[in-house]
Amino acid sequence: MPQPHRPQPRPPADAAPEPTGAEPTDTEPPGAGTYTAPPTDAAPPGAAPARALDGILVADFSRVLAGPLAAATLADLGAEVIKVERPGTGDDTRAWGPPFVADPPSGEEPPSGEEPAPHEGGAPRRGTAAYFDAANRSKRGLALDLGDPDDAAAARELARRADVLIENFRPGSLAKYGLDHTATRAANPGLVHCTITGFGSGAGARLPGYDFVVQAVGGLMSITGEPGGTPLKAGVALVDVLTAKDATTGILAALRHRDRTGQGQLVEVNLLSSLLGSLVNQASGHLATGRDPGPMGNRHPSIAPYETLACRDGQLLAVAVGNDRQFRELARALGAPELAEDARFARNEDRVQNRTDLVKALERRLASDTPHDWTERLTAVSVPCGPVNTVSEALELAQRLGLAPVTPVGEGRIPQVTSPLRLSGTPVTQPFAPPRLDEHGTALRTWLSGPADHPLPPHV
């Protein structure tokens, strides 16, 4: 048997791409089993430190962003993650480009012996969209067609050995493959089964859940943009990202419960509820008044100045004055201490009521210099502010601040944005590159067909 890779991982299914041919159903492998970790001896000096989720195996059956990102976060924390994809095409986001990044030379033929997928216009393209890489670091790749009896059996065995399973299939569609929660719990009572949907498992079960649509129907677009302008989405798939964080929180809570009781459970999250839970003050303002909030551009409905202000040549400075003391410091730094004594601006509620006059007074003085110069001066007196950076400038800022925002994952692979988590005792793992489609399939299928107490083969 192959040599062990990591201590005691268990495969969770995040959200498996739909099988070629059909949606999952109900099949239950008898017997509750858990993956047996390889023996662990005391770590020698200089060995890698323990990770928070060492010994946890996650079966990631999800696709697109919310589920894969949750699984990647668990991998950051030390879990072993197996990403299950449909053969031939894999996760939808492999094709969500440009940009595409060429796969490193492997000496292998394209997955399933196929020719490289054609690029738009018919030219052959080898590689994967950068979008896919953003949410699939540190995973092993396994391609399974759930419509094939042997592959479905392998998927069930993975669920039986896993600690966590993440999936975003349409509610009810996994039953015919024996991968719904009822079947996975019967086979593996300790399994934490996380299901991610667009609109829940009730009346919204049949509705397809895509971030852009949920931003629209969930109210976020109605409060994003300029007053009187076209409603706008956020510049990133924010609802998917928020849902991934909710899923991760739920999974970790369920694992803690299992530590105490030995019992797994079903964790359900949906895009709409994650968005509504993230509307915070906008939702509570509506519940308090019965009025719908509207778009305010970069302005804040309850704080001023808390917006972008024009400096020299119209360049923008983001200013976030959160209390009256900060406003007094701002006024002094602008050479206009009298603004803080003006009855229209002395208190936050006054500034909100007189925002138009306030902005004119501030921009008249800010016009003398650039956002970068004002940032230095205002930061020196503890006024929160900063220029509107591009993505590259934001990464450069984080680098200057010592946050090491980018982590390499191998020659010829796009670097990963570093995990934002910092744990003093169980640091996050050094990530490795996202898998090619079915990259680890041969070794994983051999492992799944062997004794359940055998450890995973080492990752190479």
What lies within 8 Å, CB to CB, of 302 at 6+ separation is: 281, 285, 352
pTM, whole model, 2 decimals?
0.85
Average pLDDT over residues 262-275: 98
What are 221-232's pLDDT values in tens digits? 999 999 999 999
Which residue has better confidence, 412 or 234? 234
Which residue has better confidence, 4 or 117? 117
pLDDT, position 101: 84
CB distance 214 to 271 below 8 Å: yes
Question: CA-to-CA distance for 6 and 15, rounded, in angstroms?
Answer: 23
- Largest Cα separation within the chain, whole Å, is 79
pLDDT, position 43: 47
CB distance 137 to 114 below 8 Å: no
DSSP secondary structure string for all residues of 48-105: PPP-TTTT-EEEE---SSHHHHHHHHHHHTT-EEEEEE-TTT-SGGGG--SSEEPPPP
pLDDT, position 334: 98
pLDDT, position 445: 97
Considering only CA atoms, which of 442, 457, 454 is closest in space to residue 144?
442
CB distance 97 to 48 below 8 Å: no
Residue 28 has pLDDT above 90, yes or no: no
What are 168-216's pLDDT values in tens digits? 999 999 999 999 999 999 999 999 999 999 999 999 999 999 999 999 9
pLDDT, position 45: 61
CA dist list (Å): 213 to 39, 59, 417? 48, 27, 27
Give the strands of the sheet with 192-197, arranged side by side: 140-143, 80-85, 57-60, 164-167, 192-197, 265-270
Kindly indicate the confidence band of residue 46, based on its pLDDT and cuts at 50, 70 and 90. low
Average pLDDT over residues 430-452: 96
Average pLDDT over residues 268-291: 97
Active site residue 240: yes
pLDDT, position 282: 96
Q: How many CB atoms lie within 10 A of CB 130?
A: 15
Catalytic residue among 14, 54, 103, 240: 240
Average per-residue pLDDT in the chain? 88
Kindly tell me the burial class for residue 115, based on how many C-beta atoms sit within 10 Å of its own C-beta (0-12, 13-18, 19 or more).
exposed
State both tokens at 219: 């109210």
State both tokens at 115: 């020719």
Residue 459 has pLDDT above 50, yes or no: yes
Identify the helix (H) or strand (E) that includes residue 142.
strand 140-143
pLDDT, position 121: 41
Residue 370 has pLDDT above 80, yes or no: yes
What are 299-337's pLDDT values in tens digits? 999 999 999 999 999 999 999 999 999 999 999 999 999
Kindly indicate the confidence band of residue 411, based on its pLDDT and cuts at 50, 70 and 90. confident
Residue 116 has pLDDT above 90, yes or no: no
Identify the helix (H) or strand (E) that includes residue 270.
strand 265-270
Which amino acid, 421? Answer: L
CB distance 235 to 394 below 8 Å: no
State both tokens at 363: 């921009």
Task: Give CB contacts under 8 A, 24+ apart, made by 427-433.
Answer: 427/49, 427/51, 428/51, 428/76, 428/77, 428/78, 429/51, 429/75, 429/76, 429/77, 429/78, 429/138, 431/75, 431/76, 431/137, 431/138, 431/407, 432/137, 432/138, 432/459, 433/104, 433/133, 433/137, 433/409
Question: CA-to-CA distance for 34 and 191, rounded, in angstroms?
Answer: 9
pLDDT, position 227: 95
Which amino acid, 82? Answer: I
Q: Enter the DSSP assignment of 113.
A: G
From the centroid of its chain, how far is CA 180? 24
